Amino acid sequence: MDTFTVLPRIGWVACLTGRNTLVRRSDRVEALIGAMAAILVLCAAPVSAALGTAVHETRSEFYADQLRHRHIAEAIAVSDSETTVRTNAIEFDVDARWRFDDTYHVERVRSQAFVKVHDRFQIWVDDEGAAVPAPPPPGQAGREAVGAAVLSWLGVVFVMAGVCGAVRHRLNRVRHANWDREFEALVDGRGQERRQS
C-alpha cells in the first residue's frame, strides 16, 4: 500500500520544523522570513479588497453626482468641424450654439463625429448650460476599484519579494564569508600536518 505525507519535509517547512543537523541557522532565518512574507501577502488580500470596496463606493458616489448635474442638450454647428489626429484618437472640434434654460450659448465644443454647418448633434452641459465632457460610463467605478485593489496587493507582493531578496543576499554574504574562513582553516590545518610530518 502506498502512503504519502500531506506536508513533505522539504523546502522551508523542513528548514523551520526539521531536526536535520545540516540545516544552518541562516537557513532557518531565511525560511522564517519567507514564511512571514507569504503570510503577509495572504493577509494583504482582504485588506486590498476592502480598499477596492472603499474606492468603488467613493467613485460611484462621485460619478452619480456628476450624472445628476450633467444634462444632454442639442447643439447646432455654426462652422464645420476641425479634425485633429492624435496618436490614439481623432478629435473633432466645432463652434456650436445651443439653448439651455432659455439662455443661448455659443462655444467651441468637441463632437463625437465630423459635423458641418447647421448640423444638429448632442452635447453634455452642466447646470449652468456650459459644455462639459460626457460623464464616465457606468462601469468606470468598478474598473477603478479593481485597479486600486490589484495595485495595492501587488505593491505588498513586490515589497515582500524585495525584503526576501535583501535578506537572502545578506545571508549569502555571511555564508560565503563563513565558507571562506572554514576553507582557510582547513588549508592551514593540512599545511601544519605536512610540516609536522
Q: Which three cell numbers stand for residue 19?
A: 531536526
Q: How many whole angstroms separate alpha carbon 95 and alpha carbon 79? A: 6
Of 10-19, 69-78, 132-141, 156-165, the range with the lowest mean pLDDT is 10-19
38 and 89 both lie in a single domain: no
39 in any annotated domain: yes
48 in any annotated domain: yes
* For residue 87, pLDDT beyond 90: no
Listed residues 132, 148, 169: the one ending a domain: 132
- 3-state secondary structure labels for all residues of 14-74: HHHHCCCCCCCHHHHHHHHHHHHHHHHHHHHHHHHHHHHHHHHHHHHHHHHHHHHCCEEEE
153 and 143 both lie in a single domain: yes
Q: What is the CA radius of gyration of the chain?
A: 34
Give the pLDDT score at 4.
Answer: 46
* For residue 33, pLDDT beyond 70: yes
Range of the domain at 97: 71-132
123 and 83 both lie in a single domain: yes
116 and 76 both lie in a single domain: yes
* For residue 9, pLDDT beyond 80: no
Give the pLDDT score at 175.
Answer: 84
Tens digits of per-residue pLDDT, 48-84?
999 999 999 999 999 988 888 899 999 999 888 888 8
Q: What is the mean pLDDT of the chain?
A: 84
* For residue 2, pLDDT beyond 50: yes
* For residue 7, pLDDT beyond 70: no
35 and 119 both lie in a single domain: no
168 in any annotated domain: no
170 in any annotated domain: no
48 and 100 both lie in a single domain: no
Give the pLDDT score at 11.
Answer: 62
Q: Which three cell numbers stand for residue 176?
A: 560565503
Which one-letter DSSP state was computed for residue 150? H
11 in any annotated domain: no
Tens digits of per-residue pLDDT, 151-186?
999 999 999 999 999 998 998 888 888 888 888 888
58 and 152 both lie in a single domain: yes
Give the pLDDT score at 142.
Answer: 93
Give the pLDDT score at 6.
Answer: 46
31 and 64 both lie in a single domain: yes
143 and 57 both lie in a single domain: yes
Give the pLDDT score at 86.
Answer: 80
54 and 79 both lie in a single domain: no
* For residue 150, pLDDT beyond 90: yes
190 in any annotated domain: no
151 in any annotated domain: yes
Which one-letter DSSP state was computed for residue 126? -
43 in any annotated domain: yes
42 and 117 both lie in a single domain: no
Pairwise pLDDT comparison (2 vs 4), residue with the higher score: 2
Pairwise pLDDT comparison (192 vs 35), residue with the higher score: 35
Q: How confident is the model at residue 12 (pLDDT cuts 50, 70, 90)?
A: low
103 and 55 both lie in a single domain: no
Provide the number of structural domains found in the chain.
2
Alpha-carbon dihedral sign for residues 113, 118, 122, 125:
positive
59-63, Cβ contacts within 8 angstroms, sequence gap of 24 or more: 59/140, 59/141, 59/144, 59/145, 60/141, 63/135, 63/136, 63/140, 63/141
